[in-house]
Amino acid sequence: MAAKPLDGIRILDFTQLLPGPMCTLHLADMGADVIKIEPPGGEAGRGPAGTPVSHFFHTVNRNKRSITLDLRAPGAREVVHRLAASADVVVEGFRPGVMARLGIGYEDLKAINPRLVYCAISGYGQDGPLAQLGGHDINYQSYAGILEQSAAPGGPPHPGNFPIADLAGGALSAAMAILAALFDARRSGQGRFIDVSMTDCALALNTQPLASLHTWKQPVPAGRDTLSGGLPCYGTYETADGRHLAVGALEPKFWQAFCAAAGCPELGKSGWAAGKSGAAVRAQVAAIVKARTLAEWIGVFDSVDACVSPVLRIDEVLTHPLTRARGMTVETPVPDGSSVPCFAFPVKMSGFAFTLDRVPPAAGQHDEEVLRESGHGDGDIARLREAGAIRPPAAN
């Protein structure tokens, strides 16, 4: 097997919780040496002190190493400087200006390592009127116009359990930009500062409402646009057992195949019906779907190419033939000696196979290992411990 795509790349990861750790998870899975730099006791995503490490932490922190470092303690800045001298990437998720005040911001580290790619992930960007405000995914979605569209017709906005701005806006956008900057640093010898605003990046993905605004010269209300429930051929329908069938038959051939299989071929030209006629068609289809269970509908559409699928629960996803065939789960050991299924690295590449090389680390598990790699000797490590910059690994 060939080397992994990011073998030899070292990343210093100062992030916590979800956007940053998911970004560096993807990079670690592709072979980067990701060193989590956590506060004493470990990052917030591990859960409350004295409790078992959260499953949430385990889902986004495999294939990484961990050191604990009190960034405000004497000697901590010098540790980061020494680590940065041989690193390729720094990823941080603090509010703008925090790293600079600690003496480990981009300008500080660039002076040590001009090739360094430095990525700052924040809610609202490094400048602008909201730069210093706290926020979470629900807030970023709000400013990006996404949350307003997440509603049934006439209903209130309601966030789903998929944090779009954190993951698509933060994690994936950051990973994309880091890889581009790494490529350029290898040919130019110069790194870059990357300003990832989760709001900006989520906004840039919110193209459907924008296109509708330009088309209709006014915002289209939630639940009434092409992809939000305004068409009979694209939406969800409740089944007899309270489950749901997802119909994505936008093209006429798919809608006609759906209608033929569902027993309503007379509706084959009504998939894009709008207004009152569209509502009437939806009502007819809803009554038809409501007459059978989800399992029955799965049987009906098992061999019909109509863009129809069952709306699965997460436990069903884990055991579904598609998930298994694509190798999309990996058993990840947890501290109690058992293991839990986590999602595998999703992209397939020639010459590369995803592997679980490191289980999610205990807080500070690699303190001495990483410090010695950066040239710290026994005396250096002892002085750092005495100063409170590093501490014994936290119980996990």
Q: Which residues are catalytic?
A: 136, 166
Query: CB within 8 A of 158, min separation 6: which ones?
Result: 150, 151
Report the side by side order of strands in the sheet with 64-68: 64-68, 33-38, 10-13, 89-92, 117-122, 193-197
Of 33, 34, 31, the closest CA to residue 5 belongs to 31
Strands 117-122 and 89-92: parallel
Say if CB 37 and CB 92 are below 8 A apart: no
CB hemisphere CA count around 117 (13 angstroms): 24
β-pairing, 33-38 vs 329-333, is: unpaired
DSSP label at residue 54: P
Report CA 245 to chain centroid distance, whole Å: 26
Per-residue CA distances from 326 to 302, 306, 309, 323 (Å): 19, 22, 17, 5
376 within 8 A of 82, measured Cβ to Cβ: yes
